[in-house]
């Protein structure tokens, strides 16, 4: 009989929430260094996304508030988030900051189109 490796137990909801809070502080302090453990944070995010409604809401709040930082490296975190949203089962529209940015982008495109049409 082959020995199969035991699957690691899923962290508790409290552990996942604590990891999200810890990573949020790290990302807001220095996104570049915080994202050196991309696999780990991606796994934490997947655990939160597959948890109950409270964990999913905590994940969305984590992503949203982390994207609002103005320090260097936030663009790296944004790319990381956008690359991982499909695996999390979260639409861009569910993240308030991404939804606002998309609306502004659409508004700017409309202005550009009007300028070109008037030229």
pLDDT tens track for 68-104: 877 667 788 889 999 999 999 999 999 999 999 888 8
CA distances from 7 to 15, 28, 49 (A): 18, 32, 19
**Does some domain include residue 56?**
yes
CB 81 within 8 A of CB 44: no
CA pair distance 14, 20, nearest whole angstrom: 10
**Does some domain include residue 116?**
no
Under the banding of pLDDT at 50, 70 and 90, the label for residue 18 is: very high
Average pLDDT rounded to a whole number, residues 97-114: 79
Q: What is the pTM of this model?
A: 0.76
**Does some domain include residue 45?**
yes
CB 55 within 8 A of CB 13: yes
**Does some domain include residue 1?**
no
Where in the sequence is the domain holding 42, given as residue range(s)? 14-91
**Does some domain include residue 36?**
yes
Q: Per the structure, how many domains does the chain have?
A: 1
Residue 116 confidence (pLDDT) above 90: no
Give the per-residue pLDDT at 16.
Answer: 93
**Does some domain include residue 43?**
yes
Average pLDDT rounded to a whole number, residues 43-63: 93
Give the per-residue pLDDT at 112.
Answer: 76
Give the per-residue pLDDT at 58.
Answer: 94
């Amino acid at each position: 009989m082959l020995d199969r490796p035991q699957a690691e137990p899923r962290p508790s909801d409290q552990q996942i929430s604590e990891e999200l809070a810890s990573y949020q502080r790290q990302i807001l302090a220095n996104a570049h260094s915080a994202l050196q453990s991309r696999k780990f944070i991606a796994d934490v995010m997947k655990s939160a996304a597959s948890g109950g409604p409270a964990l999913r809401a905590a994940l969305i709040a984590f992503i949203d508030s982390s994207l609002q930082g103005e320090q260097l490296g936030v663009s790296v975190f944004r790319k990381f988030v956008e690359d991982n949203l499909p695996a999390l089962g979260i639409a861009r529209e569910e993240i308030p900051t991404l939804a606002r940015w998309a609306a502004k982008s659409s508004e700017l495109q409309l202005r550009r189109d009007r300028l070109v049409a008037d030229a």
